[in-house]
């Protein structure tokens, strides 16, 4: 089903820090499952989400480089954590820390991908927003290769890769971390 792309309003949706937005896709990124909170926050009915490509939520402020890195990790069988700004159906947005996981069949082949999302804390958004807008600016003026090269340079200086950087910045800790791990186990 094709859905016309919403126009961003610049308004942020406040997420409940205690709830998780969960979705599952096939290997091409087509949504096969979403929990109730996913529908509530995105503003799409379950029937609109199931079968749709996950880029239905793509916000134009998200650099291509981040999704490129994400897919590179997943396709090579590695989980990854990323900070993502998503676009709801009414054009409002919400920032999430997302844990992308791989689900394999008994033969070890990748069957599905899972995404577990939580509200991104304010300090995480404050740290990420200027980096993403720089990457976007580079992509507008040059291309994605140039923005990836910039990101690599930025992270090299910190002696980290993107995944380590995000884990250190945004990995849920304490009680929230425990709930997060427990909830992920339920889907394992
Ligand atoms: C499990 C899973 C969850 C995803 N969740 C999101 C998401 O919340 N928001 C988003 O913009 N893209 C998400 N993506 C990535 C999209 O599939 C897509 O690559 C991205 O939106 C960029 O769109 P484009 O490839 O059309 O440029 C997800 C992919 C997978 C595999």
Secondary structure (DSSP) of 56-98: GGB-TTS-HHHHHHHHHHHHTT--EEEEEEEE-TTS-EEEEEE
Domain membership of residue 175 (yes or no) is yes
Domain membership of residue 25 (yes or no) is yes
* Spatial CA neighbour of 98 closest among 113, 78, 121, 115: 115
Domain membership of residue 65 (yes or no) is yes
Domain membership of residue 41 (yes or no) is yes
* Spatial CA neighbour of 18 closest among 188, 182, 187: 182
Pocket of ligand 1 (CB under 6 A): 23, 25, 29, 54-55, 57-58, 62, 67, 84, 86, 100, 113-115
Domain membership of residue 5 (yes or no) is no
Domain membership of residue 4 (yes or no) is no
Main-chain dihedrals φ then ψ at residue 35, nearest 5 degrees: -80, 175
Q: What is the tally of structural domains in the chain?
A: 1
**Three-class SS state of 102:** strand
Query: In terms of residue numbers, what domain contains 116?
Result: 21-187
Top mutation candidate among 22, 54, 110 for ligand 1, by most atoms within 8 Å of CB:
54
For the CA of 74, the closest atom of ligand 1 is: 31
pLDDT tier at 176, thresholds 50, 70, 90? low
d(CA 27, CA 74): 9
Distances (CA, A) of 129 to 11, 40, 62, 100, 142: 15, 25, 9, 20, 20
The per-residue pLDDT for 161 is 87
Please tell me the distance between residue 13's alpha carbon and the centre of ligand 1 in angstroms: 19
Lowest model confidence (mean pLDDT) among 14-18, 67-71, 143-147, 183-187:
183-187
Q: pTM value?
A: 0.93
List the CATH number of the domain containing 148: 3.30.450.20
Q: Whose CA is nearest to atom 25 of ligand 1?
A: 55
Q: Which residues contact 161 (CB under 8 A, 6 or more apart)?
A: 155
The per-residue pLDDT for 167 is 86
For the CA of 55, the closest atom of ligand 1 is: 21
For the CA of 62, the closest atom of ligand 1 is: 11
For 187, the enclosing helix (H) or strand (E) is helix 174-187
Residue 103 near residue 144 (C-beta atoms within 8 A) = no
Q: Whose CA is nearest to atom 20 of ligand 1?
A: 55
Over the stretch 77-132, which tens digit does the pLDDT of each residue have?
999 999 999 999 999 999 999 999 999 999 999 999 999 999 999 999 999 999 99
For the CA of 117, the closest atom of ligand 1 is: 8
Domain membership of residue 13 (yes or no) is no
Q: Whose CA is nearest to atom 2 of ligand 1?
A: 115
Domain membership of residue 16 (yes or no) is no
């Amino acid at each position: 089903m094709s859905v016309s792309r919403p126009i961003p309003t610049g308004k942020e949706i406040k997420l409940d820090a205690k709830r998780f937005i969960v979705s599952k896709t096939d290997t091409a990124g087509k949504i096969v499952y979403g929990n109730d909170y996913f529908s509530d926050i995105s503003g799409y009915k379950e029937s609109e989400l199931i079968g749709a490509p996950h880029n239905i939520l793509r916000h134009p402020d998200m650099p291509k480089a981040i999704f490129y890195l994400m897919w590179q990790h997943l396709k090579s069988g590695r989980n990854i954590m990323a900070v993502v700004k998503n676009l709801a159906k009414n054009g409002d947005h919400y920032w999430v820390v997302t844990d992308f996981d791989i689900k394999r069949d008994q033969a070890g082949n990748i069957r599905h991908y899972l995404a577990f999302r939580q509200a991104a804390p304010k300090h995480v958004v404050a740290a990420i927003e200027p980096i993403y807008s720089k990457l976007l600016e580079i992509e507008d003026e040059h291309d994605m290769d140039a923005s990836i090269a910039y990101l690599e340079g930025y992270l090299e200086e910190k002696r980290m890769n993107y995944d380590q950087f995000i884990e250190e910045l945004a990995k849920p800790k304490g009680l929230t971390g425990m709930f997060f791990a427990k909830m992920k186990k339920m889907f394992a």
